[in-house]
Chain A
C-alpha cells in the first residue's frame, strides 16, 4: 500500500462529487480507493514520454450544425419530469442569501 487517502481527501472528494458518506462508508471508500490507486500506479512502469494523450480514437473532426432553428417549445414535456416545479420553472432550494 503506497497510496494513503486521508479523511480530508475523502471529505473533499465528497464535496466534488456531491456524495455524503456515513462513517463506515467513508472507511470503505478510503480502502477501496487506496487499493485501486495502488493498482493504477502500475501505469508508472510505462514510459509515456513524448506520447500525445489520446482523447479521441479516430481522426474525425469539424462536425457542425448549421445555425438554423429546429426546435419548438418543449416546455411541457421537459417540465413533466421535474421532481418539483413551480409554474413554468424548475424549483430548487434557494441558491443565495
Chain B
C-alpha cells in the first residue's frame, strides 16, 4: 500500500516511527497534485516550495521530540477563505485575487500547532456561495470519481483534494452544507461542528451566524482527530464557546447499543433519489442490527429551512461583503470617475454573478420596508426550526438523513437555474440555522459509481455521539473511502 492511500493518522504514526519523513509525505502529495491537477483542479494555490520547507522544519521538530501529536507532519490543504499570513487568500474571487492577509486564521494556527504541513489553498465557490465549486473565478473543480461531475460545494476543492489524494486532510467551511454536501459527492468524511466550536477568526465571512470551519478527512478516526486540534476557545471570536470536553477521539468506539436514531420522514420522501434513499435505509438497517433504536418521525418545518436560510445568509453576506470596495485591499477597477463609480465598477467587475445575486437579495430583504416581512420573519422561522430540533432531540440521540437529494450532478447543470440549485440544500441548511453539529459519511456508491453520503445530525455539543455512530457504521462496512479512478495519479 502506497503512502498516498494511508489515512492521516496512519501516516503520522509512520512519521513518528521514522518510517516516512514529513518531507517525503509532502513531496508525494505534491507529485500527486501535479499529476491530477490538470484534470481535477482542487487547488487555487499549491505552495510547493513553502510546503517542502515547512515539512523540513516540522520533521526537525518531530525528530527533536517537540512535535509528538497524532497528526504531526501530515500534509493538509486549507480552503481559500481561511487567511494565512502572507499567502494568497482569494475566496476564489477576482476581488481578492491578489490578497495576502496580514494574519493567520485561528483554525489554521491550531492545525499548524499540531504539526500540519500546509500544501496550499483549495478552490471553492466564490465566497462560499454555491453548491458545485463552479462559481469560482479560477474555474471549476471536478469530481475525482468522475471529472464530468461536480465535486459539490462550496468546499469542493478541499473535498476533491482529499478524495484525489492530493493531501491527507483538508479544512473546509460550512454555512449551509458546504462541508457535508461536497464530502458526500466526493466520498470523504466531513464534519460541521456545533456553532462556536471552531474559531471563526480569520475565516472570511459569508453568513457570520451560520459559518463554521470543520475537517474533511478520509475516515471517521481522522475526522475526530482533526476536530480535536481545530476546536478551541478563542478570545478573538466573541461567538466562540468554551467547551469542556473536546476529546473527540475518545468517541471512536464501535458501539451503538441503545442509541436512538430518528429519520425525518421528509428527509426520505419526495425529491430524494431512489438509490440514495436505498443506501440510507441500508445504513439504518445496519445500525439497527448493531443495537440502535431506529424509527421514522416527523421533524416538521423542513420546507421552510431553505427560504429562511437564504434570507438570513444573503442578508449577512450583503453586509459582510461590503468591505470589498477597492480601498484597503484586493482588486480596484482601473478606470472610474469619482468615489461611488469606483465602488460600483470595482464590485461589479470583482464579484461573479452568484455573489452579486445574493448581495442584491440580501440588500433588498434588509431594506427599508422589507426588514420585518423578510428578515424578521426568517429569524422567527429559525427560532421555530430550532424548537423542532429541540423536540426531536428529546426523543433521539442522532438524526439520520441524506446529505443531498442526489449524487453529484454533471458540470454545467446546476448554474442554469439558481433556485433549483438552492433546493439541493434542503437537508443541510436547517443544521446551520440551529447551530447543530452534523457529519457526512460515505455510504456506498450509486450505479454510476458516484459516492453517496449519509448525514448524521446531533444535538448541540454532541459531536461525540455522531462520531460514535459513524465509526460503528464504518467498522461494520468496509471502509467506504476508496481511491477514485479519476484521481489515480502517480501511485
The answer to whether A and B come from one shared complex is: yes
A46 and B304 contact, Cβ closer than 8 Å, known pairs A18-B325, A29-B357, A55-B209: yes
The B198-254 residues at the A interface (CB cut-off 8 A) are 209, 235, 238-239, 241
Bitwise, B376-408 to A at CB < 8 A (1) or not (0) is 111111111010000000000000000000000
Per the bound structure, the CA–CA distance linking A45 and B327 in Å amounts to 44
Per the bound structure, the CA–CA distance linking A51 and B384 in Å amounts to 8
Contact pick for B329, options A32, A82, A94, CB 8 Å: A82
Q: In the bound complex, do residue B384 and residue A19 qualify as a contact, i.e. CB atoms below 8 Å apart?
A: no
Q: In the bound complex, do residue A16 and residue B377 qualify as a contact, i.e. CB atoms below 8 Å apart?
A: no
- A17: chain B residues within 8 A (beta carbon): 318, 347, 356, 359-360, 362-363
Contact pick for A54, options B311, B327, B340, B380, CB 8 Å: B380
Contact pick for B342, options A35, A65, A92, CB 8 Å: A92
Per the bound structure, the CA–CA distance linking A45 and B235 in Å amounts to 41
Bitwise, A10-31 to B at CB < 8 A (1) or not (0) is 1011101111110000000100
Q: In the bound complex, do residue B348 and residue A20 qualify as a contact, i.e. CB atoms below 8 Å apart?
A: yes
Q: In the bound complex, do residue A48 and residue B384 qualify as a contact, i.e. CB atoms below 8 Å apart?
A: yes
Per the bound structure, the CA–CA distance linking A20 and B381 in Å amounts to 33
Q: How far is the CB of A20 from chain B (nearest CB, A)?
A: 4
The B292-328 residues at the A interface (CB cut-off 8 A) are 301, 303-304, 306-308, 310-311, 318, 322, 325-328
Contact pick for B383, options A9, A36, A51, A78, CB 8 Å: A51
**Number of contacts between A and B (CB, 8 Å)?**
156
Q: In the bound complex, do residue A83 and residue B307 qualify as a contact, i.e. CB atoms below 8 Å apart?
A: no
Per the bound structure, the CA–CA distance linking A29 and B353 in Å amounts to 9
Per the bound structure, the CA–CA distance linking A13 and B345 in Å amounts to 15
User: Cβ of B331 < 8 Å from any Cβ of A?
Assistant: yes
Q: In the bound complex, do residue A43 and residue B100 qualify as a contact, i.e. CB atoms below 8 Å apart?
A: no
Q: In the bound complex, do residue A51 and residue B332 qualify as a contact, i.e. CB atoms below 8 Å apart?
A: no
- A41: chain B residues within 8 A (beta carbon): 307
User: Cβ of B102 < 8 Å from any Cβ of A?
Assistant: yes
Query: Which residue of the partner chain A has the closest CB to B99?
Result: A81
Interface-centre pick from A14, A37, A52 (highest chain B CB count, 10 A): A37
Q: In the bound complex, do residue B460 and residue A58 qualify as a contact, i.e. CB atoms below 8 Å apart?
A: yes
- B1: chain A residues within 8 A (beta carbon): none
Query: Which residue of the partner chain A has the closest CB to B103?
Result: A77
- B345: chain A residues within 8 A (beta carbon): 20
- A32: chain B residues within 8 A (beta carbon): 357, 418
Q: In the bound complex, do residue A93 and residue B339 qualify as a contact, i.e. CB atoms below 8 Å apart?
A: yes
Per the bound structure, the CA–CA distance linking A12 and B366 in Å amounts to 13
User: Cβ of B196 < 8 Å from any Cβ of A?
Assistant: yes
Per the bound structure, the CA–CA distance linking A40 and B338 in Å amounts to 37
Q: In the bound complex, do residue A16 and residue B363 qualify as a contact, i.e. CB atoms below 8 Å apart?
A: yes
- B304: chain A residues within 8 A (beta carbon): 42-43, 45-46
User: Cβ of A86 < 8 Å from any Cβ of B?
Assistant: no
Q: How far is the CB of B230 from chain A (nearest CB, A)?
A: 18
Query: Which residue of the partner chain A has the closest CB to B378?
Result: A43
Q: In the bound complex, do residue B328 and residue A60 qualify as a contact, i.e. CB atoms below 8 Å apart?
A: no
- B235: chain A residues within 8 A (beta carbon): 65
Per the bound structure, the CA–CA distance linking A40 and B348 in Å amounts to 26
User: Cβ of B330 < 8 Å from any Cβ of A?
Assistant: yes
Query: Which residue of the partner chain B has the closest CB to A52?
Result: B383
Q: In the bound complex, do residue A57 and residue B311 qualify as a contact, i.e. CB atoms below 8 Å apart?
A: no
Q: In the bound complex, do residue A13 and residue B363 qualify as a contact, i.e. CB atoms below 8 Å apart?
A: yes
Q: In the bound complex, do residue B347 and residue A18 qualify as a contact, i.e. CB atoms below 8 Å apart?
A: yes
Q: In the bound complex, do residue A58 and residue B367 qualify as a contact, i.e. CB atoms below 8 Å apart?
A: no
Per the bound structure, the CA–CA distance linking A65 and B435 in Å amounts to 25
Q: How far is the CB of B103 from chain A (nearest CB, A)?
A: 9
Contact pick for B386, options A9, A57, A95, CB 8 Å: A57
Q: Supply 15 further A-B pairs (C-beta < 8 A) apart from A77-B102, A93-B336.
A: A13-B364, A13-B367, A36-B418, A37-B364, A40-B365, A46-B381, A51-B383, A57-B209, A58-B195, A58-B241, A78-B328, A80-B100, A84-B332, A92-B327, A93-B341
9 intermolecular pairs with C-beta atoms under 8 Å apart: A33-B357, A40-B311, A43-B378, A44-B377, A55-B379, A56-B239, A63-B239, A81-B329, A92-B327
A residues adjacent to B (C-beta < 8 A): 9-10, 12-14, 16-21, 29, 32-33, 35-37, 39-46, 48, 51-58, 60, 63, 65, 74, 77-78, 80-84, 90, 92-95
